[in-house]
Amino acid sequence: MRRRRPSTKLADRRLRVLLAVFAVVFGVTLARAAWLQTVQASGLASKGASQQRESIVVPAGRGTIFDRSGVQLAIGEQATTVYADPKEVVNARAVANAAAQTLGVDANALYPQLVDRSKGFVYVAREADPVKAAALEAKHLAGLGFYPEERRFYPLGTVASQVVGYAGIDDHGLAGMELAREGTLRGRPGRETVIKDPLGRVLDVLNSAPERDGHDVYLTIDHTIQAEAEDALRSAVAQWHAKRATATVLDPHTGAVLAMATAPGYDANEFGSVPPQYQRNSPVTDVYEPGSTFKLVTVAAALSEHLVTPMTQFFLPYSIQIADKWIHDAEPRAAETLSVGEILAQSSNVGVATIATKLVGATRLSDWISRFGFGHDTGIDFPGESPGIVLPRDKWYGSAVGTIPIGQGIAVTPIQIAAAYAAIANYGVWVTPHLVDHVIGGAGPRVVHRRIVSTAVARELMAMLVNVVAEGTGTLAHVPGYDVAGKTGTADKPDPQTGGYSTTKYVASFVGIVPATAPKLVILVTVDEPQGAIFGGTVAAPVFQKIARFAVQYLSIPPDNPSELAASSASATSQTAVSSSVGH
């Protein structure tokens, strides 16, 4: 009798166990498949589609901002944004260190974000240098992604930075013309729907909507005059240890702003680290009491109302009382008789206040202030313009009829003063000041013209303003070879603590028109809180002279007093000859 071998029995037993295991695995697999095809079907289908199909935003290029001659003030530069999907990152420490080495990011700050698998997207670096980003991409680190972006760059740095403003990290305009013309500059991004393989490579483009780049904007600013104005202001601030200074250069016939400068300034490329007070475009947004430059309005009103002529004379003491306030001139003097022209040339507070008393009837002076644009926006195409502070006529206090006409108790912006004088230079027609010259493929500025005084009155005022520079308080504004019309201003600054006026803080200003016989430029200079001297004729007039002298030469504006240049040239030649003779 033969016995069955133990090895055969063991083999049968193992076979039965293996079949049982296969049966269990098959059952579990079948159940899993059934569950996935029923309960999880819709979710998995959606996930699978999303893994294969992706919608990609194609960024649009932001329009360039140019100056009037085509020099770039704000441009778009190509950059690369680097991001990571923590769920796909294999070695977070290696990725953080590589990003630190190539892009300069903080590895210790990045690492915790990379190991947080609850997130599907984190920025590694926004708008990074594309060359450095390419070097990082070449390392083929799992979990990293790259896409192109545009970053804003300001080639001239500080030049016109308060006017141009800046755009932020997402290419949105945040200040200045970048903000004012956001809709024009930004453009419209495109979009593509693509199919990708498991490795993320694009296999096909299902559909696409093309991007539309933003429109280019040309400003009225001339970068060369702007740079010269900024340099002149920096020198003035340093010389007089002033808090701030501004300059506005305006074409009186078109309203085009050729320069609008503020010192101290800042580099628009570093806007994130610059205090807000340095970023303000002060000629448009900041108000100040104008002092004597405002006297033009009072005299223009009296001339237009036929209450005086330039030759009308007044006997003027050193001081007069109006209501509860004594008004006096800047320098002590004996009582004297002055004509209207002499009152303006010598900037007599008493004289202008006396003239103003003739305008007090009803709302005549108040109406003229409004007519010149004070208390209203000029309409300049810049965000944040202030209308100034002008009391309505029914709220004028007793002495206001004497103080407001001389530029106290009223607050204005530099652009309002510049526009008012530009109207006189433009034969009595006020023109909307503007910073945009034209837009490629878009709308340009809306410029309004309105007459505020007659041509005859404008000519009378111009003649009186010439005397201010020729023999009055503005002699330091003289430009050789050119007749200059202008007005000085020295204003006490209000003191919020006392409710009165400071005895140590002033705003010195000068506004001038050149050439006076055929006006081409209006230039206003203000110097806030100068130290050592306070008068506009001493502090601000020389700054005007420096800017004006450069501008007339740069723009090839012919002199209207060439005989003066000839005399100066002859004198210089004579002195040279004498020196040569002495040398021998």
Residue 11 pLDDT grade (very low, low, confident, very high; cuts 50, 70, 90)? low
How far apart CA 260 and CA 106 sit, in angstroms, is 40
Q: List the structure tokens of 462.
A: 């111009």
pLDDT at 316 over 60: yes
- The answer regarding whether domain 241-567 maps to CATH 3.40.710.10 reads yes
How far apart CA 580 and CA 561 sit, in angstroms, is 30
- What residues contact 251, with CB distance under 8 A and at least 6 apart? 220, 257, 258, 422, 520, 521, 522
What is the third-level CATH fold of 79-155? Penicillin-binding protein 2a (Domain 2) (3.90.1310)
Average pLDDT of 217-234? 98
What pTM, to 2 d.p., does this model score?
Answer: 0.82
Percentage of residues of the chain with pLDDT beyond 70:
82
Q: Among 76-80, 204-208, 468-472, 498-502, which range has the highest average pLDDT?
A: 468-472
From the list 71, 65, 74, the residue with the least C-alpha distance to 224 is: 71
Positions of E strands within 61-135? 65-66, 72-84, 122-128
Catalytic residues: 292
Whole-number average pLDDT of the chain: 86
pLDDT at 584 over 50: no
pLDDT in the model for residue 576: 46
> Which residue reads 């109006």 in tokens?
322
pLDDT at 583 over 50: no
Is-contact 542 511, C-beta < 8 A? Answer: no
How far apart CA 393 and CA 41 sit, in angstroms, is 77
Omega into 264 within 30° of 0, i.e. cis? yes
Residue 499 pLDDT grade (very low, low, confident, very high; cuts 50, 70, 90)? confident
Residue 438 pLDDT grade (very low, low, confident, very high; cuts 50, 70, 90)? very high
pLDDT in the model for residue 96: 86
Q: Where in the chain is the domain with CATH 3.90.1310.10?
A: 79-155
pLDDT in the model for residue 315: 94
Other beta carbons within 10 Å of 69 = 10
Kindly compute the dihedral angle of the four CA atoms of residues 393, 394, 395, 398, in this order, to the nearest 10 degrees: 80
Kindly report which listed range (103-117, 186-200, 274-288, 500-514) carries the lowest average pLDDT score.
186-200
Q: List the structure tokens of 97.
A: 């260190």
pLDDT in the model for residue 203: 58
- 197 or 464, which is more confident? 464
Q: List the structure tokens of 67.
A: 């100056």
Residue 125 pLDDT grade (very low, low, confident, very high; cuts 50, 70, 90)? confident
pLDDT in the model for residue 187: 76
Q: Pick left, alpha or beta for residue 428 (phi over 0 → left; psi -120 to 50 → alpha; otherwise beta).
A: left
How far apart CA 524 and CA 526 sit, in angstroms, is 7
Residue 201 pLDDT grade (very low, low, confident, very high; cuts 50, 70, 90)? low
Average pLDDT of 153-177? 93
Percentage of residues of the chain with pLDDT beyond 90:
57
pLDDT at 581 over 50: no
SS3 at position 371:
helix
Residue 25 pLDDT grade (very low, low, confident, very high; cuts 50, 70, 90)? low
Give the DSSP per-residue string, 11-57: HHHHHHHHHHHHHHHHHHHHHHHHHHHHTSHHHHHHHHHHHHEEEEE
Residues 360-402 have pLDDT tens digits of 654 688 999 999 999 999 999 999 999 999 998 888 888 888 8
Q: Where in the chain is the domain with CATH 3.40.710.10?
A: 241-567
